[in-house]
Structure 1
Amino acid sequence: MDTRTHAAAATPGETVRVAGWVHEIRDLGGIAFLILRDGSGKIQIKFEKEEMDDDLVETGLSVHRESVIAVTGDVETEERAPTGVELVPDEVEVIAEADPELPLDPSGKVEADLSTRLDNRTLDLRKDEVKAIFEIRAEMLQSVREAFRSLGCTEINTPKIVATGTEGGTELFPVTYFGREAFMNQSPQLFKQLMVGSGLERVFEIGPIFRAEEHNTPRHLNEATSIDFEAAFTDEQGAMDACENIVRAAYGGVAENCQGALEALGLDEEFEVPTERFPRITYEEAIERVNATGELDEQLFWGDDLSTEAERALGDDVGSHYFVTEWPSEIKPFYIKDHDDDEELSTGFDLMHPRLELVSGGQREHRHDRLIEGFEQQGLEPEAFEYYTKMFRYGMPPHAGWGLGAERLVMTMLGLDNIREAVLFPRDRQRLSP
């Protein structure tokens, strides 16, 4: 199998062995064509029935679609073939026969609903446009990693089984841990803060997070991938600068290295890398602009969160990625630092795509006494987080950071209708398998 030639590399004049899936068979009477598909593309196999061994023809044309086969033969130029070449077979080997009845059509000629696709994800990814999403996702993550390294960041990996939730509350998945109760982590927030106090100073992590929220929407998951950043000796403005850098790098990497995948999705002509600086709009201005659109049934007031409808109205008004800054302190987590000259305003920010929120971040409270006050104000027990709070007594520098939803970034980048399309095997309220 190691000696096989990929379909896209088959060159006229060569004798090659290709292997892949039976994509389609067209029997025209005296001549028939089998289209073989592998990871590089497709190649046409020509069967001239009168000139070939009957067993060879029978093997090649009786095999079911999506069976795995290997074909050895000579490559010839054929301008009418889909890729300009075709293979005249000397040998056809059926490696793995597929059932004649498939749960979905990998050719895409017959549409399947999202639930059926997710139930049969392996078959679903045999479609070029679906595979393209995950080729783009992989490139996005690679580009993000390279951009973090260029910012002087160290990649870290933090625990996903923890004794306490990052933000407390009921949005936690409990697990039994050697007879003790533990939880799946909501975020690497507390651990990455400890790392910037360790001397690493600038860190990032790409890993899973778990939230037991009872959502059932096209933009929520219960297991997601978070792209996290934390840096010492910076504030919320520096964190937003880094965030903008990372998002732009993600788009840039996809634009440079994923033209084929973008073409498969029909996006090669319209995909654009954001070049303008992302506007930074205060929460107060955001409320005013949303109300001025007239799109909401009820006006927003100070202290209200931005609903889905409000986000869309503001997104349509701004028309690009943008930050919402200076959120009210009362609606941001305990670890977000307040402004020194106005404790009702936090240093928290969100990065928004016109469709939905992508990032939540801000400067962190690095003063031990203020951090403890924040716990108490939000009804949390500081003692339960002592592993975290005590380190703030040993010299914690000012620091800031954020978390970015990887699936949301892919979803908005590609204009996907449902976030589950950007996940291989989604986990939500109903789906635990496959």
Structure 2
Amino acid sequence: MESRTHAADATPGDTVTVAGWVHEIRDLGGIAFLIVRDSSGKIQVKFEKDEMDDDLVETGLDVQRESVVTVTGAVEEEERAPTGVEIVPDEIEVLSAADPELPLDPSGKVDAELPTRLDNRTLDLRKEEVKAIFEIRAEILRSVREAFRSLGCTEINTPKIVATGTEGGTELFPITYFGREAFMNQSPQLFKQLMVGSGLERVFEIGPIFRAEEHNTPRHLNEATSIDFESAFIDESGAMDACEEVVVSAYEGVAENCQEELEALGLAEEFTVPERDFPRLTYQEAIERINATGELDEQLVWGDDLPTEGERALGDDVGQHYFITEWPSEIKPFYIKDNEDDDELSTGFDMMHPSMELVSGGQREHRYDHLVEGFEQQGLDPEQFDYYTKMFKYGMPPHAGWGLGGERLVMTMLGLDNIREAVLFPRDRQRLSP
């Protein structure tokens, strides 16, 4: 179909061949219309029955909705048509006929529940507003990659099948690997740290992570996309600067390149790019502010993790993206470095959207003895992680980094109710197919 013309490019006076899906058929008696949809939009095809070949009219009006067709004909101006032009057809070919019993209505006139939509994702993405989410997701990833490159990062790809879990615990998916037990990787954490000790120094990765989460909530997935950053010779403050730059760049890319998609989602008017210099609250300040809201039944005390309702109360109070810094050492992973002046505090941080956590990061422990000690304190066997720890004997620079939940970024940016809306084919406790 080299001579195919997209619907949006059809110009009055031209003879074109348009290929796409039958969106709607309107039969008004002596005149009828076929609306054909492609990736660029929709175009009207006009049938004046008395003036056209009967077979042509029959082919055009007997076809089922969502069938794939090509239409060849002259493009004419028509103010009343949805796009101001219409095609008067000379030829119509049905390339693929659709079953008249569709599992959902891509025109959106009849709503479908989320499970039905996910079961029929191909049809679901024929809806303009659903397709818009994934066009925006693609732009987010493009903008993020560009931001990383501007920060001097090299893109890497690390293994997703590993011998040991990144963080241990029950959140591991075991698999059989040639008769041995292996696991789906929870994070590229250990590998990206090894890379900052190599000649690369500053790296990023965008790839899948796997967690056997017990949670079955609108914001948890068992396979997610992690956007990861790691750099030698920076501390947690430098990592937060990079985090802020990447997130703001994602919003800027969408604002600049996705106006049509934002309009399809009804967000064009309200979409705003976050201002740089996100507030940085300490963990102590965060729990004091949460307690002051009076939203929790019990007051938080030092060492508590922040409950979902506490995060929301604090998010409402802050009203923008923000960081929580200086978390207690005891509740951060073994690879997070303690504060130099107070080993009760860690260099760990979280970056928050007002509605939920998006990023976890910090400065890493680069000193071999301290790293092994951290493993032991968290009940992990350092020998199982020898491939990782031994490299810290050979000159590991100070380094810091973070991981950002890709779907959570899409979800919070677009105000989606369920994280599954941001994934083509979600994997959760119930869903393994399609």
1:250-304 residue CA offsets vs partner (Å, 9 max, x unmatched): 0000000000100000111110011241000000000000000001111100000
SS at match of 2:345: strand
Distance 1:257 1:187 in 2: 30
Deviation string 1:221-267 (CA, Å, 9 cap, x unpaired) is 00000000000000000000000000000000000000010000011
Q: Does 1:7 align with 2:7?
A: yes
Letter aligned with residue 140 of structure 1: I
Counterpart position of 1:298: 298
Q: Match of 1:144?
A: 144
Q: Kindly state the Cα deviation for residue 145 of structure 1 after the two structures are TM-superposed.
A: 0.2
| Number of the residue aligned with 1:53 | 53
Match of 1:96 in 2: 96
Separation (CA, whole Å) in 1 of partners of 2:3 and 2:176: 49
1:280-299 equivalences in 2 (<5 Å): 280-299=280-299
Deviations 1:35-88 (A, max 9, x none): 000000000000000000000000000000000000000000001000000000
Distance in 1, Cα, partners of 2:159 & 2:45: 51
User: What's the secondary structure of 1:134's corresponding residue?
Assistant: helix
Q: Deviation string for 1:340-380 (max 9, x for gaps)?
A: 11000000000000000000000000000000000000000
Matches of 2:62 and 2:105, distance apart in 1: 18
**1:397 maps to which residue?**
397
SS at match of 2:270: coil
| Aligned match of 1:414 | 414
Query: 2:124 corresponds to which residue?
Result: 124
Tell me the amino acid that sits aligned with residue 364 of structure 1: R
Q: Residues 13-32 of structure 1, C-alpha deviation per residue, up to 9 Å, x if partnerless?
A: 00000010000000000000
- TM-score, with length taken from structure 1: 1.00
* Runs of 4+ displaced beyond 2 Å: none
Q: Which SS does the other structure have where 2:47 is aligned?
A: strand
Tell me, which stretches of 5 or more residues in structure 2 are unaligned?
A: none
Q: Which residue of 2 aligns with 1:246?
A: 246
In the TM superposition, residue 421 of structure 1 has moved relative to its aligned partner by 0.1
**Residues 1:185 and 2:185 are matched in the alignment:** yes
Distance 1:71 1:243 in 2: 49
> What's 2:347 paired with?
347
Matched, 1:380 2:377: no
Structure 2 CA distance for aligned equivalents of residues 375 and 360 of structure 1: 19
Query: Is the 2:147–2:249 contact (alpha carbons within 8 Å) kept by the matching residues of 1?
Result: yes
1-side partners of 2:7 and 2:331: how far apart?
56
| 1:309-334 CA-partner distances (Å, limit 9, x unpaired) | 00000000000000000000000000
Alignment of 1:81-230 (within 5 A): 81-230=81-230
Q: Partner residue of 2:425?
A: 425
Partner of 2:365: 365
- Could you say what secondary structure the match of 2:12 adopts? coil
Q: Is the 8 A contact 2:320 2:353 kept in 1?
A: yes
Whole-angstrom CA distance in 2 between matches of 1:401 and 1:199? 17
CA distance in 1, matches of 2:361, 2:173: 23
In structure 1, the residue matched to 2:307 is 307
CA RMSD of aligned residues (A): 0.4
Distance (whole Å) between structure 2 residues aligned to residue 55 and residue 29 of structure 1: 16
User: C-alpha deviations, 1:119-142, integer Å up to 9, x for none?
Assistant: 000000000000000000000000
- Structure 1 residue 2: deviation in Å? 2.0
Distance, in Å, in 1 between the alignment partners of 2:382 and 2:170 is: 17
How many residues of Structure 1 are paired with residues of Structure 2 in the alignment? 434
Secondary structure, aligned partner of 1:339? coil
Compute the displacement of 1:213 (Å): 1.0
Q: Quote the residue 2:321 is aligned against.
A: 321
SS at match of 2:79: coil
Q: Are the aligned partners of 2:244 and 2:276 in contact in 1 as well (CA < 8 Å)?
A: no
Q: AA paired with 2:161?
A: I
Q: CA deviation at 1:98?
A: 0.2
Question: Separation in 1 of the partners of 2:340 and 2:91?
Answer: 77
Q: TM-score, with normalisation over the residues of structure 2?
A: 1.00
CA–CA separation in structure 2 for the residues paired with 1:20 and 1:215: 41
Secondary structure at 1:139 match in 2: helix
Instruction: Quote the offset at 1:215 in angstroms.
Output: 1.2
Aligned with 1:338: secondary structure? coil
* Identity score, percent: 85
CA distance in 2 between partners of 1:109 and 1:76 (Å): 28
Contact 2:278 2:321 in 1 (8 A): yes
